Amino acid sequence: MSNSDPQNQANTDNMIPVHTAVAHPWLCDIMGHMTTRHYTAIFDDASYLYFFRVFGWSGSDARDDNIGWADVRHEVDYVDEVPAGDLLEVRASLQRLGGKSVTIAYEMNNLSKSSVAATLTSTCVFFDMDARKAVTISDEMRASAEPFLAGAGTR
């Protein structure tokens, strides 16, 4: 269930839509609701569009420049069941912009029920795929991302 501690609540200012999905029957478990492994996949798909919209990074950067993002921490709250056929939208907000890492809050909304289905707080490091280590987020990427920081105003 959702966390009631205000210190652990994400600031959802500047949330932008980054993914839509359908809870197809093959994503559901024996109990008839979407299984946790598929929440993760939906959040992961959403992260690629988020990194593109906020930082200008895409998968071609990983292929061409051997630079990408590595998830180092996930905290998921499953808030409401998602039955087969429900429509989902994931929104995201940049919570923290560090020197080599970012923290992003994701919210999966069940459009069919007008409810929050799940939330994810994800910490990711900017990652040199050859050296296999975190690297500094460029000034250009930081400038692109700063308007998306929670509390930076409404987009």
Residue 2 falls inside a structural domain: no
Q: Is residue 28 part of a domain?
A: yes
Domain that holds residue 93: 14-148
- The CATH code of the domain that includes 98 is 3.10.129.10
- Residue 4 within a domain: no
Asked if residue 60 belongs to a domain, the reply is: yes
Q: How far is CA 112 from CA 29, 66, 86, in A?
A: 19, 40, 5
Average pLDDT, the chain: 91
pLDDT at 150: 84
Strand partners, 16: 92
- Which residue in 125, 116, 120, 107 sits closest to 51, CA to CA? 125
Confidence of residue 151 (pLDDT cuts 50, 70, 90): confident
136 within a domain of the structure (yes/no): yes
Please tell me the total count of domains within the chain: 1
What is the per-residue pLDDT across 27-86, written as a single tens digit (0 to 9) for each?
A: 999 999 999 999 999 999 999 999 999 999 999 988 999 999 999 999 999 999 999 999
Indicate yes or no: pTM above 0.75.
yes
